[in-house]
Structure 1
Amino acid sequence: MRSVLLHIEDDDCLESRLQVALDLVRAFDGHLTCSKSIQWEMAGAVDFYGLMAAQIMDATRSQAEALRTRITARLATEDVAWDWVQSDGFAMRDMLRRSGLADCVVLGSCDPLGATGPSKLVGEVVLGAQAPVLVVPKGVARLDCEGPAVVAWDGSPEASRALRGAVPLLARAASVTLVSVAGEEETGRYDLPPVQGAEYLSRHGISCELIDLPLRAKSVAQAVLNAAADREAAYLVMGAYGRSRLAETIWGGVSREIFADPPLPIFACH
């Protein structure tokens, strides 16, 4: 994971995802690209009805420049390679376009516009990006790349892609646990049992523990999160499931519940 793409926006998750991105870049001796999109609907601090459109645009650019000054000053003190890319337009389009040459995209779980529930930006990027996405919740102080890892496994194409994408991280993990939850709605739909996931990892020199959990929690998502908490996981690897792509992303049930308020970083692929 030598090329890390980081979404820059002044929301509640910025500090956490910046620190996680820095930890990831240091662990792999990589390069950090900070992507800032200037989109006019982000001018929430501006009195929209009291200013003309040109004034709003100027104020938004000033806010973006102040943010750039703040972040670049911070990066100048960090021992990592980095660059800054900035453009006018929607963050979702910029992140998807730039994901083509990224090994990992780092987003915050907070919705940049302050909406409740799963972030629309996260949903669109996870479902459309050409690279794995690491979703970081507010309050995360660091990413322990050598800590325990938990993989949510159901044998689906999404879970398989997430497992493959996470191999560089999992190779550094202190322990890896593949967790399957009995009673999932999609059980029996796919041909890849946990043992095949374990065999795949073994070919990369990664050993793992296989756990088949009965569905005793309120939901599959909660059972997976409980397993991650019990093992003090540094992050969770999972496939992201989207039922359809409309003007607003509609998440699958497990994905929606986990991404709505994740307690730890989520490494996801669609």
Structure 2
Amino acid sequence: MKSILLHVDSDSCFEARMQAALDLARAHDGHITCLQAVSYEVFAPGDFYGSALAAAMPQIKQNAEELRARIETDLANEDASWEWRFLYGMAETRLLDQSPLHDVILIGPHDVGEEGRRGPSAMAGSLAVKAPCPVIVVPGETKSLDASAPVLVAWNGSAEACNALRAAMPMLVKADKVFLLSVAEEKTKERAEFPASEAARYCSRHGVEAELVEVPRGDAKISDTLFSAAQRRECGLLVMGAYGHSRLAEMLMGGVTRRALSDPEMPIFLAH
């Protein structure tokens, strides 16, 4: 994780993900690209001539400059390599544009301007599926991203789970403990392409001795089961494959990714 792309915004979760980015950079001797995207799309019904946009842009620019000044002052006191990148446009689009030469993207749990709204972040889901690198969603309650803390890998034998495991390997090799956790379901066993034992062998080739854990399905949502299992094992990160079913199916019927992103209780590492 040498090249870290950090989404900069004025949301309440930014301090948490900036700290996570700093922890990640220190642990991997990495570099942080702070991406501040300012949208010029101001939606005002009936504003055919852009008068609302013209009136709003000076304040938008001033707010952006003040945020940058404050954050750069804070980063100047940190022992990590970083740079600032300012771009006009929607944050999701600009993060996706910049992702090909980054190892990981750090974002918050909410879409831009939608703090307090229940439901999964559309930006998180889109980046997890479209970006060529993994995404870490960092909730506002996160105090740090300790590289040595145990990591829980959600395992269902899917190609997405394999992709997430492989993408997370630079982090797994630094963790004190790695758990490969499967939620026991008959239908999961029937459709699993890669058993957990094979995933464990893959980890061992990288010097990671993963502990296999299977928990009963129970009555709780699978996402709640994963968070609970991770917290009991004092994990600092949950690794999971994103949108194993089609994105549309998860939007219509729900799904583990969608539910986990709706109320993340810890940093979530996503790859599709």
1:269 equivalent in structure 2: 271
2:239 to 229, 237, 240: 237
- Offset at residue 176 of structure 1 (A): 0.5
- Offset at residue 190 of structure 1 (A): 2.9
C-alpha distance in 1, partners of 2:53/2:74? 32
**Maintained 8 Å contact 1:243/1:250:** no
C-alpha distance in 2, partners of 1:38/1:75? 20
- Offset at residue 185 of structure 1 (A): 4.8
After TM superposition, the structure 1 stretch with the greater mean CA deviation from structure 2, 21-30 or 209-218, is: 209-218
2:80 equivalent in structure 1: 80
2:201 to 195, 199, 206: 199
2:46 equivalent in structure 1: none
2:149 equivalent in structure 1: 147
- Map Cα deviations across residues 236-268 of structure 1 (whole Å, 9 max, x no partner): 11001065567xx76851011111111110111
2:160 equivalent in structure 1: 158
2:190 equivalent in structure 1: 188
2:262 equivalent in structure 1: 260
**SS in structure 2 at match of 1:188:** helix
- Map Cα deviations across residues 89-122 of structure 1 (whole Å, 9 max, x no partner): 1111111111100111101112322232111111
C-alpha distance in 1, partners of 2:16/2:28? 19
C-alpha distance in 2, partners of 1:42/1:244? 31
* Gap runs ≥5 in structure 2: 44-50
1:2 equivalent in structure 2: 2
Alignment: residue pair count: 263
Moved over 4 A (4+): 242-246, 249-252
Aligned-residue sequence identity (percent) comes to: 43
**SS in structure 1 at match of 2:18:** helix
**Maintained 8 Å contact 1:110/1:138:** no
1:29 equivalent in structure 2: 29
1:58 aligns with 2:58: yes
C-alpha distance in 2, partners of 1:179/1:143? 20
TM-score (norm 1): 0.92
C-alpha distance in 2, partners of 1:58/1:9? 17
1:48 equivalent in structure 2: none
- Offset at residue 6 of structure 1 (A): 0.3
The structure-2 alpha-carbon separation of the partners of 1:113 and 1:174, relative to structure 1 and needing over 3 Å to count, comes to: same
The structure-2 alpha-carbon separation of the partners of 1:252 and 1:164, relative to structure 1 and needing over 3 Å to count, comes to: farther
TM-score (norm 2): 0.91
**Maintained 8 Å contact 2:41/2:53:** no
The structure-2 alpha-carbon separation of the partners of 1:185 and 1:221, relative to structure 1 and needing over 3 Å to count, comes to: farther
* Gap runs ≥5 in structure 1: 44-50
The structure-2 alpha-carbon separation of the partners of 1:223 and 1:169, relative to structure 1 and needing over 3 Å to count, comes to: same
C-alpha distance in 2, partners of 1:101/1:251? 34
RMSD of equivalent CA atoms: 2.1
The structure-2 alpha-carbon separation of the partners of 1:245 and 1:258, relative to structure 1 and needing over 3 Å to count, comes to: closer
C-alpha distance in 2, partners of 1:59/1:152? 44
C-alpha distance in 2, partners of 1:251/1:16? 31
1:96 equivalent in structure 2: 96
**Maintained 8 Å contact 2:158/2:244:** no
The structure-2 alpha-carbon separation of the partners of 1:220 and 1:97, relative to structure 1 and needing over 3 Å to count, comes to: same
C-alpha distance in 1, partners of 2:78/2:211? 36
- Map Cα deviations across residues 129-164 of structure 1 (whole Å, 9 max, x no partner): 110111100111111110111100011111000000
After TM superposition, the structure 1 stretch with the greater mean CA deviation from structure 2, 202-211 or 123-132, is: 123-132
- Map Cα deviations across residues 220-249 of structure 1 (whole Å, 9 max, x no partner): 212111110110101111001065567xx7
